[in-house]
Amino acid sequence: MTAIGKNLGKFKQWTGEKLGKANKTECSDEFLRLEQEADQRKDTFERLYDASEAYLRTLEKKKKGPEDKNKISPILSLANSLVAQGQLLPNESPYGQAMIRFGQAQEQIANNQLDYANNLREAYVNGLGNALNELKELQQLRKKMESRRLDYNAKMNAVQKAKKEKPELEEQMRAAELKFNESADDTYSKMVAISNAEEMYMDQLARFYDLELEYFQKNVQLLTEIRDIFDQSEYSNYYKSTRKSPTLSARGDNAVSRSKSHRTPLPTNFEDQATSFPQPVRNPTFAHLPRSNSETSEDMIPYTYANSAPAKKPSVDRGMKKLVRVLYDFDGGSKDELPIRKGDTITVLDEIDEGWWIGEIVDEYGRRAGMFPSNYVEEVSMGAPSAYGASKRAVGHYTTTLSDPLPNQYEDPSIQGDPRRRLAPLPPEHSPFPRNQTLAHRPPVPYSDRGNAGGNPFEAGGATACHECGCTDYKANVFKQSSCNNCFHIH
C-alpha cells in the first residue's frame, strides 16, 4: 500500500506540473547545460558508432571465392585469382609474371587490411562503444533523479497543503529530499565525467588516424616495390619481338589457297570443257626466282594464263575471251552459282543460253567460277586473250595457290549426267532487258525450266497473251507459280 500511495503521489505531482497547478523543483543552469550537451553527445556517438561498425564490417567481410570455397575477404579472393591465372601462362610471359607479383601484393594487402581492422576495432570503435555505455548509464541516473524529484515535490506539496503540522509528513519530505539530492549529485558527476572525457575521445581519434596512415603507407610501399613489372619499355620490347603479323599468304591456307590434297574432281557435266580452260604458265619475268620443294610455295607466284585447245562444244572463241562488267549485285541461290558484286569484271567461259552464263573471277580472294545471270552484266571487251583476274577488285599481281582449272562449285546430284543446264531460251526481241542496256533497277533473275513437269494449269497454249508486254509464248516458271518464264509476267 505504501508503494502504491507513493506512485500515486508522483503521478498527481506529474499531472499537476503539466497542468501548471503544482510547483516543480528546478535544477541549476549549469546542470541544465550539461544535460543538453549529454543529449547531443548521445545522438552523435550513436550515429558515429553505427557508421564505424559498418566500416569495420566492410573491412572484415568474407565470402566464398572462385578459387577457394572457404569464406575469405574479397581482396584475398582477387589475389588468389590473379596468382592462379598468372601461373597458367608461360614463365617468360610478362603478363603472367605481372599477374603473379600483383596477386602476391594483393594478398599482402589483404593481410594488412585484416590487421588494420582488428587494431581499429580495439583502439577506436571499442572506445565509442564504451562512451555509449557511459551515456546510457547517465540516462538511467537521470530517470532515477526525475522519479525522486517527483516524489520529493509531491511530499513537499502535501506538507504545504496540510492545515496543521504533521511530523510524519515532514519526515517523509526530508527523506525524499535527501534521496533526490543524492541522485542529482550522481547525475551531475556523471555528466561532468562525460564532458571531461573529450580528451580521451581525441586520443582515440588520433589513434584511428595513425592506424589508417600506417595501413595505407604499407600498401603504397608494396605497390611501389612491384612498379617495375609495369615498365612499358620492358614488356613492349618482348611483345614486339614475339608479335605475329598475319599476311594474305598466311591466311590463304584457310581462306584463299586450296591444297592439292583437298581438291575434288570436276563434275561430269564439265569434263568436256576441262581441256578448254586456260592453264597457268610461269611469268618469264619471275624465272629467276628460286623454286621451293614445298608444293605451296611453288604455287604461290604471280601467273597468267595461256590459251588452251578449243573445247568440244565451244560457244565462245577461246582465243578471244569475252569480258563483262557486273551492273548489279547477285548473291547466288545455290553452290553452283557465282556471287558477284557491282563493278566486278568477269571472264565468260561459256554461254549456256540467253539467261545464264558461266564465268570466272580472279581477285584477292582467289579464283572463283560459276553461273550468273547474263542480264546482270554488260559486255566491255572482245579483244585479245585476257589474263584471268581482270576484276576491278584485284589490283596488281595476285599471289595465290594455283588450283584445278575449275573448282568443284557445280557438283549437284540433280544435274549430274546433264552436260548443260537446259534453260528456256529468251528471244532477244522479247527480252525486257537488252544485254547492252544499263538498267535503272535490278532485273529479275532468269529462271530455269528444268524439271518442269506437266499438269500445270498455266502450260503454254492454255494461257492468253500477256496483258503487259503482249507475249504469247507462255512457258510456266517452276520457281514462281503462274508466272511466265519468258516475260516474267502473269498471263
Residue where a domain stops, chosen among 238, 266, 296 = 238
Instruction: Write the pLDDT tens digit of every residue in 396-441.
Output: 333 333 344 444 444 444 444 443 433 333 444 444 444 444 444 5
Report yes or no on 52 lying in a domain. Answer: yes
Q: Are 439 and 381 within 8 A, CB to CB?
A: no
Report yes or no on 413 lying in a domain. Answer: yes
**264, HSE (Cβ side, Cα atoms, 13 Å):** 7
Is residue 421 domain-shared with residue 487, that is, in the same domain?
no
Look up the CATH number of the domain holding residue 31.
Answer: 1.20.1270.60
Strand blocks (E) in 283-407: 303-306, 322-326, 345-351, 356-363, 366-373, 377-381
pLDDT at 445 over 50: yes
Distance CA 188, CA 463 (A): 118
Distance CA 376, CA 339 (A): 11
Report yes or no on 465 lying in a domain. Answer: yes
Residue where a domain stops, chosen among 183, 208, 238 = 238
Report yes or no on 437 lying in a domain. Answer: no
Is residue 76 domain-shared with residue 203, that is, in the same domain?
yes
Instruction: Write the pLDDT tens digit of every residue in 142-181.
Output: 999 988 888 888 888 878 777 777 788 888 888 888 999 9
Report yes or no on 299 lying in a domain. Answer: yes
Is residue 172 domain-shared with residue 261, that is, in the same domain?
no
Total count of domains within the chain: 3
- Overall residue count recorded for the chain in this entry: 491
Residue 229 in grid coordinates: 613489372
Strands 356-363 and 366-373: antiparallel
Is residue 105 domain-shared with residue 221, that is, in the same domain?
yes
Look up the CATH number of the domain holding residue 308.
Answer: 2.30.30.40
pLDDT score recorded for residue 49:
94
Nearest by Cα to 281 from 169, 418, 385, 416 = 385
Specify the higher pLDDT residue, 381 or 41: 41
Quick check: pTM over 0.85? Answer: no
Report residue 487's pLDDT band, with 50, 70 and 90 as the boundaries. confident
> φ and ψ at 359, to 5 degrees?
-140, 175
pLDDT score recorded for residue 246:
52
Is residue 231 domain-shared with residue 258, that is, in the same domain?
no
pLDDT at 13 over 90: no
DSSP H helices in 121-225: 126-161, 167-196, 198-225
Distance CA 465, CA 222 (A): 92
Nearest by Cα to 138 from 182, 200, 188 = 188
DSSP 353: S
Is residue 303 domain-shared with residue 329, that is, in the same domain?
yes
Is residue 19 domain-shared with residue 149, that is, in the same domain?
yes
Report yes or no on 375 lying in a domain. Answer: yes
Distance CA 351, CA 346 (A): 13
Residue where a domain stops, chosen among 401, 430, 459 = 430
Report yes or no on 438 lying in a domain. Answer: no
Please tell me the least confidently modeled range out of 148-152, 259-263, 472-476.
Answer: 259-263
Report yes or no on 177 lying in a domain. Answer: yes
Average pLDDT of the chain, as a whole number: 72
Is residue 321 domain-shared with residue 198, that is, in the same domain?
no
Is residue 210 domain-shared with residue 291, that is, in the same domain?
no
Residue range of the domain that includes 311: 250-430
Instruction: Write the pLDDT tens digit of every residue in 351-380.
Output: 888 788 899 998 877 888 999 999 999 988
Is residue 194 domain-shared with residue 260, that is, in the same domain?
no
Is residue 383 domain-shared with residue 475, that is, in the same domain?
no
Distance CA 226, CA 370 (A): 62
Residue 323 in grid coordinates: 569480258
pLDDT score recorded for residue 240:
77
Q: How far apart are the first and last CA of the chain?
A: 119
DSSP 217-284: HHHHHHHHHTGGGG-HHHHHHHHHHH-----HHHHTTTTT---GGG--PPPGGGGGGGGGSPEEEE-G
Is residue 423 domain-shared with residue 461, that is, in the same domain?
no
Percentage, residues of the chain above pLDDT 90: 32
